[in-house]
Homo-oligomer: A and B are copies of this chain.
Amino acid sequence: MSTMPPTPDHQVFLLGDVVLQCRQTLRGAQLAYKTYGRLNAARDNVIVYPTWYSGQHTENEWLIGEGRALDPTRHFIIIPNLLGNGLSSSPSNTPAPFNQARFPPVSLYDNVRLQHRLVTEVFGIEKIALVTGWSMGAMQTFQWGALYPDMVERILPFMGSARCSRHNQVFLEGLKAALKADGAFQDGWYERPPERGMRAFARVYAGWGLSQAFYRQELDIQALGFASLEDFLVGFWEGIFLGRDANNLLAMLGTWQQGDISDNEVFQGDFAKALGAIRAQAIVMPASTDLYFPPADSEIEVSHMPRATLQVVDTVWGHLAGGPGTSPADIAVIEAALKRLLAS
């Protein structure tokens, strides 16, 4: 258990051999992370801010800055990278025999357990002022709250859920099938990226990531500056995913699909019990037009959480309302809620 020498942009916590929930061993497990600001003497200024599907810590940084809700001059912010995202242990960076298609299934629970080790073993932290995150980052946020209620004082999951809903699973099945339809994927043993499948994956994603109203208002052109719908599909969506590794995308997708904060030895599948265990003060923030994390799921979750309030972000930006810097008005709403929660 030690940290590797710093890289230009992040550090890596070496966890040794970790037995996962699936009863396979992640040998030489690595958790990549970056911190911002300083841990104060009271150790009470900690924010944990997990990454979203396919994103890396640099793609979380848009919410961090002096005067921002996550302020490194006041807070000690830790961004742990999701397993499978190419920086933490992933199909793309794990040596044989557990590389590529043999990378073991990693659960939401596995991720948060390892993040907990990072926070406690590396930094000796006992209290976390806030856990927050977008999308799959929100799923990790819920899991943190449920597993470590004595440690986590506040949570603000935005545009995410505590369990991957059945509809969300179907959406993800579509993504997966589109990628795997490309024979170049070769059941995960490709030497060159299955580019056609990855572009199909991206194109399927494009319909889900934003709302009908977003496209009706032509915000791809009017707000994001693309020249046409096709320009947006290629330049934005295909651009996001082509740079990622296909097996990594599928590994994280598996984590997402199986994501359920109660699917572990602690809660034994009792979802209401897991939600009820979250004693953190919570603001749960779905986006009104999110097509795969719709507000209705958040309502159900909040009804089981003892100290949670629901605050729906009224937006046409769909899931991307919480994304990296695309919708300033929505981000202002999220930041205001973060500040309010941190001040409480």
A184 within 8 A of B: yes
- For A208, what are the chain B residues with a Cβ–Cβ distance below 8 Å? 207
User: CA of A212 to CA of B211 in the docked complex: distance in angstroms?
Assistant: 14
Instruction: Give a binary string over A148-160; 1 marks a CB under 8 Å from any B CB, 0 the rest.
Output: 0000000000000
A207 and B296 form a contact (CB under 8 A)? no
Given contacts A165-B212, A170-B215, A174-B200, 6 further A-B contacts (CB under 8 A): A166-B215, A170-B206, A178-B181, A183-B184, A183-B196, A200-B200
A127 within 8 A of B: no
* With A165-B212, A181-B196 as contacts: A204 and B296 at CB distance below 8 Å: no
Q: Which residues, 282 to 332 on A, are CB-close (under 8 Å) to B? A: 291-292, 294, 296-297
User: CA of A227 to CA of B292 in the docked complex: distance in angstroms?
Assistant: 23
A192 within 8 A of B: no
Q: How far is the CB of A206 from chain B (nearest CB, A)?
A: 5
- Please list the 9 inter-chain residue pairs (A to B) with the smallest Cβ-Cβ separation, ordered nearest first: A174-B204, A177-B200, A167-B215, A178-B178, A181-B200, A166-B215, A177-B203, A181-B181, A167-B212
- For A294, what are the chain B residues with a Cβ–Cβ distance below 8 Å? 212
* With A165-B215, A296-B213, A297-B216 as contacts: A229 and B170 at CB distance below 8 Å: yes
- For A173, what are the chain B residues with a Cβ–Cβ distance below 8 Å? 203, 206-207, 233
What are 23 A-B pairs at a CB distance below 8 A?
A: A165-B212, A165-B215, A166-B218, A166-B229, A167-B211, A167-B214, A170-B207, A170-B215, A171-B207, A174-B204, A174-B205, A176-B203, A177-B199, A177-B204, A178-B178, A178-B200, A178-B203, A179-B181, A183-B184, A200-B200, A212-B291, A212-B294, A212-B296
User: CA of A232 to CA of B96 in the docked complex: distance in angstroms?
Assistant: 36
Instruction: Give a binary string over A221-235; 1 marks a CB under 8 Å from any B CB, 0 the rest.
Output: 000000001000100
- For A170, what are the chain B residues with a Cβ–Cβ distance below 8 Å? 203, 206-207, 215, 229, 233
A180 within 8 A of B: yes
User: CA of A11 to CA of B200 in the docked complex: distance in angstroms?
Assistant: 39
* With A183-B184, A207-B171 as contacts: A216 and B166 at CB distance below 8 Å: yes
- For A207, what are the chain B residues with a Cβ–Cβ distance below 8 Å? 167, 170-171, 173-174, 208
A264 within 8 A of B: no
User: CA of A294 to CA of B174 in the docked complex: distance in angstroms?
Assistant: 21
A169 within 8 A of B: yes
- For A291, what are the chain B residues with a Cβ–Cβ distance below 8 Å? 212, 291
* Contact count band on A: 35 or more
Instruction: Give a binary string over A176-200; 1 marks a CB under 8 Å from any B CB, 0 the rest.
Output: 1111111110000000000011011
B216 and A165 form a contact (CB under 8 A)? yes
- For A197, what are the chain B residues with a Cβ–Cβ distance below 8 Å? 181
B204 and A167 form a contact (CB under 8 A)? no
Of all chain B residues, which has the CB nearest A184?
Answer: B183
Of the candidates A174, A199, A210, the one having the most CB atoms from chain B within 10 angstroms of its own CB is: A174
User: CA of A294 to CA of B291 in the docked complex: distance in angstroms?
Assistant: 12
Q: Which residues, 98 to 124 on A, are CB-close (under 8 Å) to B? A: none
- For A210, what are the chain B residues with a Cβ–Cβ distance below 8 Å? 167
A178 and B174 form a contact (CB under 8 A)? yes
User: CA of A199 to CA of B178 in the docked complex: distance in angstroms?
Assistant: 9
Q: Which residues, 56 to 89 on A, are CB-close (under 8 Å) to B? A: none
